[in-house]
Amino acid sequence: EVQLVESGGGLVQPGRSLTLSCAASGFTFDEHAMHWVRQAPGKGLEWVSGISWNSGARDYADSVKGRFTISRDNAKNSLYLQMNNLRPEDTALYYCAKDIEGTVTPGGDSWGQGTQVTVSS
């Protein structure tokens, strides 16, 4: 059974940093691209970032480009999101999602339960 468990969320002041982690199990992690998707309270889904199976391709939503960095450690079956210079509008539930393919596609076939990030002074 595929399991994705996010961690690292919390309450942080504007301008500060936070790193999210996603521990994956139940599938061959290094064969699949991975994504971070967020959902602000009462709002829709927003794709944040994606990374290919071998980290050779990665990109970001314009809203986070230059502030967030996605990475993965295939030896540890883990996905990360380093978030710098956080803003109140980054407040959301952050989901980790497994791609159906090894490269970035919109096919996220398994999702974690999310970790809450709240940016507030």
Which part of the chain contacts another protein (CB under 8 A), choosing from 7-15, 16-24, 50-58, 83-91? 50-58
CB of 23 to another protein, least distance (A): 16
Binding mask 68-107 for another protein (x = CB under 8 A): ---------------------------x-x--x--xxxxx
Q: Nearest approach, Cβ of 16 to another protein (angstroms)? A: 25
CB atoms within 10 A of CB 95: 21
Residue from 31, 59, 73, 89 in contact with another protein (CB under 8 A): 59
50 binds another protein (CB under 8 A): yes
- Round to whole Å and give the CA distance between 66 and 20: 17
Asked if 53 and 33 count as a contact pair (C-beta separation under 8 A), the reply is yes
Which is nearest to 96 in space by CA: 41, 51, 42?
51
CA distances from residue 38 to 23, 32, 44, 48, 75 in whole angstroms, order as listed: 17, 20, 8, 7, 26
Chain residues binding another protein by CB under 8 A are 35, 37, 44-47, 50, 52, 57-62, 95, 97, 100, 103-109, 111-114
